[in-house]
Amino acid sequence: VPERLVVIGGDAAGMTAASQARKMRGPRGLSILAFEKGSYTSYSACGIPYLVGGVVETIDDLIVRSPEEFAERDIEARTRHEVTEVDVNSREVTVRDLEGKTESREGFDQLMIATGAIPRRPDLLNSDARGIFGVQTIEHGAAIERFIEQEEPKSAVVVGGGYIGLEMAEAFKTREMNVTCVELAPEPMTMLDPDMGHPVGEALRDMEIGLFTNERVTEFEVDAGGVSAVVTENRTIPADIVVLGLGVTPNSTLAEKAGLEIGDSGGIVVDRRMETPREGIWAAGDCAEKFHLVARQPVSIALGTHANKEGRVAGINIAGGHASFPGVVGTAVSKVCDLEVATTGLNEADAADAGFQYVTATMDSSTRAGYFPKASAIRTKIVCEKRSGRLLGAQIVGREGAAKRIDVLATALWNEMTVDEMLNLDLSYAPPFAPVWDPVLITAREAWDAVQEDLAAAT
Ligand SMILES: Cc1cc2nc3c(=O)[nH]c(=O)nc-3n(C[C@H](O)[C@H](O)[C@H](O)COP(=O)(O)OP(=O)(O)OC[C@H]3O[C@@H](n4cnc5c(N)ncnc54)[C@H](O)[C@@H]3O)c2cc1C
């Protein structure tokens, strides 16, 4: 009898692990059975705002691999099957068939937990009313699409101005709704420092998306059809549809009930091989805790880029190979209206929380040589440690061609470079691609000056 791998959660982390394990171990050595409570496997949740906004035509365009395609690779993926219990002692899972409403138990030798995350829902009056949506899985995207087609909402409110909320706000605007975003912080896009988030707010207003910052939502009003308004401390905003963009928490309840260790961040505790302290039980993706390489502490960060890499590492180890996942620096990009936004590592607040003393440098520059057609604005900010000048984090806000420059900064961060080491990096230059001093380099140069000035002031 071949060894059996059971996977809980049929998206990025789970199915990457399954595919990787299958690649390394032929069909005879390992049987793989995956359970997904939704109707789809291996989909791009990241594409939901583009589906709602009409950039992507159908939900099928977001499906990377169907259960039929997995079957061709000797991976059995059962959709509409929810795992309701894990028994780590008998090494069995309890599975509910959501169509047939039957329950069964399936044994496993190895278990991959990849249950993702759950959108935060505020504990406010009527927060579970019809028409109020969290966004995490493709099912949520499909539900929003259905609601828009049936109800033809005219006004949308996004609660929380993080990147998912803002991507959804833009999508609703494209569908010609009146869109308002309410954010508790002083500026939207709180993964950025407020000075970098400010231009994001301006871009929203330019696009006639209403934005109320420093404002708390207090309750939701409902009528017979569901949500009808969002009430804040200062006003009542009519709303036919509401999206909650309040972040997510790791979906680790199933693991917790099974007696697996949950970290302070809320994620399942795993080692560098993605194994929990229970041998042969693995976790990856949004449900698993990650180690932040700059803050030097466990964190929960929900990003598809991590989920795929962690899934691959888990799959290799499940198959008997050896791979490790060192941790994350939290690199993310997004696009809000015409504005590209990117971040890596620690912003000022994170750096202070992690106990760093830091200086910052912010530079306005251009994505191409200033005289070149379509040269556009880019603002780059570096946060680096006082004295040593070690890079701690960076942020970029700009127009087309700006955001992916964050990858250079993320690579520098990964390698623990100082701004002194960075400012002579041999980065490419030609007028269609960059000014002669790339925005990354001039900001590193400015950061080096800031380190020197701080040093001079202290001596
Ligand atoms: C709108 C949006 C935009 C995003 N944009 C980006 C982006 O641009 N870049 C980026 O890096 N990341 C982005 N993300 C985040 C990214 O989608 C997630 O980090 C990634 O999908 C996590 O993969 P996962 O496999 O850990 O979890 P998920 O993709 O959430 O998959 C978990 C699966 O497990 C299933 N499941 C849960 N519990 C059970 C159970 N008990 N039994 C059976 N099945 C179960 C769920 O139905 C789900 O399908 C975005 C997310 C959203 C929602």
User: Could you state, in chain order, the average pLDDT of each consecutive group of 10 residues for the chain (459 residues)?
Assistant: 95 98 89 97 95 93 97 97 98 97 97 97 95 95 95 97 96 97 97 96 95 97 96 98 97 98 98 98 98 97 98 97 98 94 98 98 96 95 98 97 97 98 96 96 98 94
Atom 20 of ligand 1, residue of closest alpha carbon = 304
Instruction: Supply the pLDDT for residue 452.
Output: 97
Instruction: Round to whole Å and give the CA distance between 340 and 437.
Output: 20
Mutate to test the pocket of ligand 1, among 6, 7, 8, 11 (most ligand atoms within 8 A of CB): 11
Q: Which amino acid is at 162?
A: G
Instruction: Supply the pLDDT for residue 2.
Output: 87
Closest atom of ligand 1 relative to the 136 alpha carbon: 53
Q: What is the 3-state secondary structure (H, E, C) of 100-142?
A: CCEEEEEECCEEEECCCEEECCCCCECCCCCCEEECCCHHHHH
Q: If DSSP codes are grouped into helix, strand and coil, which group holds residue 294? A: coil
Residues 380/365, Cβ–Cβ less than 8 Å: yes
Instruction: Round to whole Å and give the CA distance between 134 and 168.
Output: 11
Ligand 1 mean position, distance from CA 11 (Å):
7
Distances (CA, A) of 346 to 192, 342, 353: 9, 12, 10
**DSSP string for residues in 30-96:** EEEEEEESSS-SSB-GGGHHHHHTTSS--GGGGBS--HHHHHHTTEEEEETEEEEEEETTTTEEEEE
Closest atom of ligand 1 relative to the 310 alpha carbon: 26
Q: What is the 3-state secondary structure (H, E, C) of 171-195?
A: HHHHCCCEEEEECCCCCCCCCCCHH
Instruction: Supply the pLDDT for residue 29.
Output: 86
Residues 3/109, Cβ–Cβ less than 8 Å: yes
Closest atom of ligand 1 relative to the 81 alpha carbon: 43
Around ligand 1, the residues with Cβ closer than 6 Å are 8-14, 35-38, 45-46, 48-49, 82-83, 114-117, 135-137, 164, 251, 254, 285-286, 302-305, 307
Residues 41/7, Cβ–Cβ less than 8 Å: no
Ligand 1 mean position, distance from CA 114 (Å):
9
Ligand 1 mean position, distance from CA 260 (Å):
21
Instruction: Supply the pLDDT for residue 363.
Output: 98
Element (H, E) at 199: helix 194-206
Mutate to test the pocket of ligand 1, among 168, 249, 303 (most ligand atoms within 8 A of CB): 303
Instruction: Supply the pLDDT for residue 52.
Output: 94
Catalytic residues: 46
Instruction: Supply the pLDDT for residue 459.
Output: 84
Instruction: Supply the pLDDT for residue 92.
Output: 98
Instruction: Supply the pLDDT for residue 1.
Output: 81
Mutate to test the pocket of ligand 1, among 37, 42, 66 (most ligand atoms within 8 A of CB): 37
CA angle 153, 154, 158 (to 5 degrees): 80
Strands 248-250, 92-97: pairing kind = unpaired
Atom 38 of ligand 1, residue of closest alpha carbon = 115
User: Residue 257 CB: number of other CB atoms within 10 A?
Assistant: 11
Residues 346/393, Cβ–Cβ less than 8 Å: yes
Instruction: Round to whole Å and give the CA distance between 19 and 38.
Output: 19
The token pair that represents 299 in the structure block: 């964190």
Ligand 1 mean position, distance from CA 44 (Å):
8
Atom 2 of ligand 1, residue of closest alpha carbon = 46
Ligand 1 mean position, distance from CA 309 (Å):
14
Q: If DSSP codes are grouped into helix, strand and coil, which group holds residue 438? A: coil
